[in-house]
Structure formats: C-alpha cells, structure tokens
A and B are shown apart, each in its own frame.
Chain A
Amino acid sequence: MKHLIVDEVEVGDELPSLVKVPSTQQLVRYAGAANDYSSIHFDDRHARRRGFDGVIVHGALKAAFLGQMLTEWCADAGWVKRFDVRYHSIDVPNRPLVCRGRVESIEPAGEPQRIELLIWVENPEGKKSTTGTATIVLGAPPLPRGPDE
C-alpha cells in the first residue's frame, strides 16, 4: 500500500520503506533548520576526540526521516498524533538508512479511529539503530481557529 487507504489497511501491513543516504551537507542543513548546533554533527575533529571515526547523524534527523515516512504514507487520510523514538546506536553519513514501519493495531473503538505503528531505522548491517512507535489519527487534524487573531 503506497498510501494509507482507510478501508484496506490491516494489522501487519508494512509501510513503503524510505531510503535515505544523509550526506555531511545534509547534516549541516539539518543543524541550521533545526537550530541544533551540537558539534558532533559537523566537526570531524571533535567527533574523533569523542571516539567516533567522524561526524555522526543527528538522532533527531533519523526521527525526522521516520516522520517523513509517516506523513507521506498517511497523506490526507490522517495525521501523526503521537510519535516516540529511541536511539540505540549511532549512524554515520553517506551510508543508506532504511526507514520502515508496520501497522501494529487499528483501534476501531471510539472516534476518531487510530492506527498504532511500529517504526524503525535499519542500518546497512540490518540492525535497528532507532526504534519507535507512532499513532496516526484518521481524518483531518484539529486546527487552530486563527492563530494570529
């Protein structure tokens, strides 16, 4: 299922995987966009002093990749209400990271309906370096009446 189709989604469905190969430039772009200037993500020498071979990928960027996978999948059919991630091991730039997800449960009780998902990032060795869960609520998200009023 390329996108979430409410009438067809089933427990066990896998989300289309999203492959990312973050470059060091992307890390710097993310640092700027997220205002996250921890030097371990752009300063090779600093990273080596900390025992790494070079800069490492922001955990938050891996979470953002998972977020992109979720929002692309649910498109207009729902919105990401809850999202958690745990960072188990580091990833380094210029290697493919595969974002994956699986439908764990569909909660029919109550309105609006919710889909619970397992999400994770796999490194090239097939290890899950980041894992998490998310809740997608079906339908349009609640929006503020007029934020600037």
Chain B
Amino acid sequence: MTSVPHELEPGTRLFSIELDEVQLEHLVRWAGAVDDYEPLHYDERAAAARGLDGPVVHGPWKASVLARALVEAVEADARITQLTCHYRRPDFVGDRLTFQAEVTEVIPRHDDLQVECAVRVIGEGGMETVVGGATLMLPRKNEEHCEGAQLVTQVMLDRLNYGQEAGRFTYRIQENDLERFHASIGPVDELDPRPSVTVSGGMEVAPPTYYMAIDPVERRDLDIEGFVYQVPYPIVGGGNAFNEVEYERPIVVGDLVTVSTSFTEVYEKVGRSGQLLFRVRSNVLTDLRDEVIARSRMGHAIAYDLSERNMP
C-alpha cells in the first residue's frame, strides 16, 4: 500500500497487478452483476460466430478492476472523480492481464489533493488493450505535504484582482503589424521574401495565433505579475504551459480590438523541476461594436525550489 501523500509525485507507480488468467467465472459474475447477458462474453460459439477466438472480456469489467485497485492503492477515503478508458483491443478468457496506474500530476486543491493518473491494461501479447486516465481526490489531512501551498497567498490573489478584470487595453490592428508578424513566422515561399498576408473578402486576416501578440501581459502593457519575483524561493524553471483561442470571426486589418484580461485560475502543483505556480488568464477580445471577436486562455507556470529559501 502506498502511503499518502508525500510519495505521490509524477512518475509514481500506484500499482501493477497481474492476473494470471481471466476466468470465465469472472465474466459470468460480471454479466450477472450488471444484468448484461450478451453471449459474446461467455458463449464460445457466439464468439466464434463473430470470428473471435473465444469469449471476450467485458471492457467495463477491466475498468472496474482498475477503479478498485486505484482506491486500494491510496487510502480508503480517496474518491475517484473521473475514470476514462479507451478499449483498444479485445482480451479473451484465459489471457494473462496486467493492470497498471501511474501518477502523472499532483495538484493541491483547497481541501483535497487532486491526483491525475494514467491507467492501462496490458494483454497477453504485451500490447496495451486499455489505456486511459483517472482523477483521484485525496483529503488533505495535514500540512506536511503542502508546505508549498504558501506559494499562493491571498495577497497575491488580491494583487491579480483574481476572478475579476485585471486590465483592459485597446489595440488598432494595422497592415504593418500583420506583415511584420507574418514575416517573423517565415514566408510561405522561402524564395519569395515578401510576407504573405491572408486576404478574405477583401480584408486582410490575421494569422490564428495573432491574439497572443495583443495580449496586454505579454506586451507588458499590464505589469501585474511582478509578484512572482517576490516569492521567497529561487525560480528553477517554467514558461508557457498552454494557449487556447476560439474565434467568432478572424481579426482583420483596421480592427480596433479591446482586450479584457482576468486571472481565472491560480494554483500550484508538484512538478518534475520543483513546485509549480500556475496562473491562467482569460482574455475576451471585442470590436468597436462591442461584439466578441475571440476568447482565449493562456496558462503559465513558474517552478520554484522550495528546499532553498531566498534571503529577504
């Protein structure tokens, strides 16, 4: 049994359980328990009629074995809040199966430790027959494991105007801006150095990632993140984690785009290189008519080494 929680970190193997031989009785018991009497799972002839070598192990049975092993691998009061299984290949009665789970992420939440896991079942030939993921919520009992939770403080959240608009800036989109942006990505034809700006309906359309170029924080128009350098631990890594955008329409030359930005998630989690402070900003881009052009989310992480405290 794995002791919780300080041994839980990305890469921790939660369990690897071998079942020497799936018995027909396993499947018949499952069929009875879930009231599913599809003969494919217990009748050799029905299986043969479908061109299969024998009765096929129920996918949900394999998922249930994973689910039970997950709870047993941690603590009785852990909750599985999500389990996703993709059934890649069939397994058959008599097969040797290996059930495995490994921690991929540990995220301290307010009352719980959220543990993300990768799960899999390896079948007779060593091939993955089930792959998926699970989310476990473990109650946080003491502070021993979350010393780093001091990274996110109320002062920090207040400074970011957490959950509310942190800033609002307006940018005029000019032809030169788009040409420069296109040229910096690289011309379509390397022999033709002219930047190619996409034209649609007579309008020059910005590239899909142009929204990042009018982000007030990346541009330092809104200088609000200085607090990250005031956290009393050395920075050992970090950077962009993700970017997402959904457009209602493309950005075009001539647009006057107002970008409203707010911090919608600030949290920390255990990473490979240290304690990671994540901040997610959501931007809404609107035009002169106050119609939404796009909504975006940008995630950034900074890793701190908690074992070493900076001198004040």
List the interface of chain A (C-beta within 8 A of B): 20, 26, 29-30, 32-38, 40, 50-51, 56, 58-61, 63-65, 67-68, 70-72, 76, 79-87, 90, 134, 140-144, 147-148
Contact = CB atoms under 8 A, between A and B. Distances in A.
Contacts of B185: 30, 61, 64-65, 67-68
Interface of B: 177, 180-181, 183-186, 188, 198, 200-201, 203, 205, 207-209, 212-213, 218-220, 235-237, 239-250, 252, 254-256, 287-289, 291
Contacts, number: 134
B239 A72 contact: no
Given A33-B180, A33-B213, A51-B236, A60 B207 contact: no
Nearest to A20: B186
Contacts of A32: 180, 184
30 contacts: A26-B184, A26-B186, A32-B180, A33-B177, A33-B213, A36-B219, A38-B218, A50-B237, A59-B239, A61-B185, A63-B209, A63-B212, A64-B181, A67-B209, A68-B207, A70-B208, A71-B198, A71-B207, A72-B188, A79-B250, A84-B242, A85-B243, A87-B240, A90-B239, A140-B201, A141-B247, A143-B250, A144-B249, A144-B252, A147-B288
B235 A50 contact: yes
Given A34-B184, A87-B241, 19 more contacts: A26-B184, A29-B184, A33-B180, A35-B213, A36-B218, A51-B237, A59-B240, A60-B243, A61-B185, A63-B243, A67-B208, A68-B207, A81-B246, A83-B244, A87-B242, A134-B208, A141-B247, A144-B291, A147-B288
Contacts of B208: 67, 70-71, 80, 83, 134
Contacts of B254: 147-148
B191 to A, nearest CB: 15
Nearest to A141: B250
A35 B219 contact: yes
A78 B244 CA distance: 19
> What is the predominant secondary structure among interface residues of chain A facing chain B?
mixed
A61 B249 CA distance: 22
Given A143-B201, A147-B287, A60 B252 contact: no
Contacts of A142: 248-249
A80 to B, nearest CB: 4
A63 B212 CA distance: 10
B250 to A, nearest CB: 5
Q: Which of B183, B188, B236, B245 has the most CB of A within 10 A?
A: B245
Contact of A147 (B200, B242, B248, B256): B256
B239 A40 contact: yes
A70 to B, nearest CB: 7
A79 B200 contact: yes
Given A71-B208, A80-B247, A33 B183 contact: yes
A72 B20 CA distance: 52
B136 to A, nearest CB: 22
Contact of A143 (B188, B219, B249): B249
Contact of A82 (B209, B241, B247, B252): B247
A20 B249 CA distance: 28
Nearest to A79: B250
Contacts of B201: 140-141, 143
A141 B249 contact: yes
Contacts of B237: 50-51
Contacts of B180: 32-33
The 6 A-B pairs at the shortest CB distance, nearest first, are namely: A59-B240, A33-B184, A84-B244, A67-B208, A80-B208, A29-B184
A148 B175 CA distance: 14
Interface-central residue, B205, B209, B213, B254, by most chain A CB under 10 Å: B209
B133 to A, nearest CB: 15
